[in-house]
Structure 1
Amino acid sequence: MNFISTLVQWILTKLRITWLAQRLLLRTLVAGPIPQHVGFVMDGNRRYARGKGKLVQEGHGDGYLALRRVLEICLRLNIRCVSVYAFAIDNFKRPQEEVNALMQLAETKLLELCSHGDLLQEYGVKLNVIGRRSLFPESVQAAIRRAEVLTKRNSRSILNVCMPYSSRDEMTTAVEDCIREALVIEDAGKDINDYFMCVYITEDTINSHLMSVKRGSPPLDILVRTSGVKRLSDFMLWQCCENTHLHFSNTYWPDFGLLDFVPIILEWQRSVWFKRQDILFGGSRISR
């Protein structure tokens, strides 16, 4: 992260930013280019809980409050789509007590988030739960269906809650869908030469069948992982392969907020401005 972003973060910390200052700051940021899609690997809930002398379940509860806080910041910035890594398929291997607590949290908080007058309704956010949902208990699946129904008419923004999710599973499912779609042609009695032409699968074909893309998500501009861990942990690997800015924050997810996010947005805006200048001046040099 560059010197200017670090300096801004230091100044904001010293000012202990007020509610009014937050609104002014967000309005200033909106005056510049804004990413359309930001993803978060919400990491560090358990280590946060241990550091505070809390139960792991309480750490996950505080992580939900952080999600609400960060989501509202994104919505105020007019970010079109937010994707969060809420539960990995591999998380089912955790202690059963923790998994049960997470299932209960998901069941109650999904409906709370989508209830009348709450955050998603206020900002017109459509909720998508992306992942192999059949692995969840039926009660959680029912809560997911109801939450999605409550927000299906919202069109201003998108919240992708990825659970139970893995990028490898998303890519595998996309390829399976491509093949399944192509095989329908054979059943339709097409000429064999036409059939082989139609089963030709490109990157664009696979991309269009990704769960997130099918739900209307734009390309991923920024991916943030909290807690100081510097790996992607099988989250949106396909989406991250081109033009995505990766940021690894040392802050645990329950503590992550505006002061952590502002430098990330500033860094992204700086790169966009430089890219635009390169295009502008590069084009001028070519025209000469």
Structure 2
Amino acid sequence: MSWIREGELNLLEKISANVLKAGPMPKHVAFIMDGNRRFARRNNMERQEGHMQGFNKLAETLRWCKHLNIQEVTVYAFSIENFKRTKDEVDGLMELAKQKFERLLEERDNLKKHGVCIRVLGDLNMLPLDLQKMIAKAVVTTRAHNKCFLNVCFAYTSRYEITNAVREMAWGVEQSLIKASDVSEALLSECLYSNNSPNPDLLIRTSGEVRLSDFLLWQTSHSCLVFQSVLWPEYSFWNLCEAILQYQLNYKSIQKARDLHREHQALLQLEADRACVAEHLQHHGNGKPADAQRRQEALLHYTACREERVQDFLRALKHKRDSFFNDLCSEAVLA
């Protein structure tokens, strides 16, 4: 089954989509695609068939998102916690992933035509090496595409992602790329797997569960969360419309919360910069208090230097991550 589904909406769907698009639309939607196993049990299927039906529904949902001008989708494909499932189920999911990424590579011309960029977020080192190489090829092949984005969270949990971001900042300090005083909430956000994406506007979980299960905890602190009782393989265009309507009804309060958080972040950064400057002037001011002009000049200089350090660090971090995927691709070519 193709990752990219062609085809138009039917007349009623088109009318509904146009009505929705008259209001504020989410640009980035995240899905916890829950209910594949329950769907399989209910329909007397093998678990693997339930997961296959779940992938087919993802392809269909991506088509709906395209028609609704939703430019970015993030999906929870495989949690680190899922490794605790039976060996047969985990092996089956790994095999399904191999088949789907192999199919994706066969569709590279179609992905280029639609400008689809595939990103895989998680610790790929936990996966079989052949699957790592396939994923790396998919990521590198579509890296330059910029019309729409699909982020697949695989071997992922949010707590692991946040812990890894802290390690990345510690690495930056060890390499003298940044100072410990440069560490901030904003910098941690830039060190997450999802640093190339805006935070989701809307997160949808199916199957009736009302928890996030360690998915995008940091990124969805100011997102609209919608929990729907439908099992993922049974998800419909109308379920998606219902979730978008919930987002639109709560849009103003969501935007207000985001704006307040952004202002608070800026204020905290300013206070941190002022504290660093005050400490520096105290140690280098021969005991004389600095006047307002000198303090302001010192603050502007410090802020510019900090921002330059941070940008150098983020470039080094990007190079490290890109090299990981490039090296896997080279191994795949040599194999």
User: TM (normalized to structure 1)?
Assistant: 0.80
**Do the aligned partners of 1:114 and 1:151 also contact (CA within 8 Å) in 2?**
no
Contact persistence 1:114–1:120 (CA under 8 A)? no
RMSD of the TM alignment (CA)?
A: 2.1
Matches for 1:134-145 after TM superposition, within 5 Å:
134-145=125-136
Q: Deviations over 1:20-75 (max 9, x none)?
A: 22223223322322112111111110000000000000000000001001111112
1:230 matches 2:210: yes
Q: For residues 127 and 155 of structure 1, what CA distance do their matches in structure 2 show? A: 10
Listed one character per residue, the Cα deviations across residues 116-144 of structure 1 (whole Å, up to 9, x for unaligned) are 37764443110001101011111111110
Aligned-partner Cα distance in 1 for 2:255–2:197: 24
- Report 1 or 2 for greater relative contact order, CA contacts < 8 Å, sequence distance ≥ 6: 1
How many residues align? The count is: 248
Confirm or deny: 8 A CA contact 1:112 1:118 kept in the other structure.
no
> Structure 1 stretches of 5 or more lacking a match?
1-17, 189-194, 278-288
Structure of greater Rg: 2
Aligned with 1:96 (options 49, 65, 87): 87
Using the aligned pairs only, state the percent identity: 38
C-alpha contact 1:221 1:245 (8 A) present in aligned 2? yes
Pick aligned residue for 1:209 from 191, 200, 217: 191
Work out whether 1:248 is the aligned partner of 2:227: yes
Q: Give the direction of change, closer, same or farther, for the CA distance of 1:117–1:142 in structure 2 (3 Å limit).
A: closer
Checking the alignment, whether the CA contact within 8 Å between 1:167 and 1:238 is kept in structure 2 is: yes
Amino acid at match of 1:231: R
Q: Are the aligned partners of 1:87 and 1:165 in contact in 2 as well (CA < 8 Å)?
A: yes
Aligned equivalent of 1:106, options 86, 97, 100: 97
1:25 equivalenced with 2:7 (yes/no) = no
Which deviates more, 47-56 or 35-44?
35-44
Kindly provide the amino acid, as one letter, of the partner of residue 240 in structure 2. F
SS of match in other structure, 2:198: coil
Gapped regions of structure 2 (runs ≥ 5)? 1-8, 257-335
* TM-score, normalised with respect to structure 2: 0.69
> CA 1:51/1:119 → structure 2, altered by over 3 Å: closer, same or farther?
farther
- Picking from 45, 59, 66, the partner of 1:54 is 45
- Does 1:158 pair with 2:149? yes
Deviation at 1:269, TM superposition (A): 1.6
CA deviations over 1:133-164 (Å, ceiling 9, x no partner): 01111111111012113322210111110001
- Identify the residue that residue 249 of structure 2 maps to in structure 1: 270
Secondary structure of the residue aligned to 2:34 is coil
Describe the superposition over 1:197-219 as per-residue Cα deviations: whole angstroms up to 9, x where unpaired.
54441100101111111xx2112
Residue of structure 1 in register with 2:325 after alignment: none
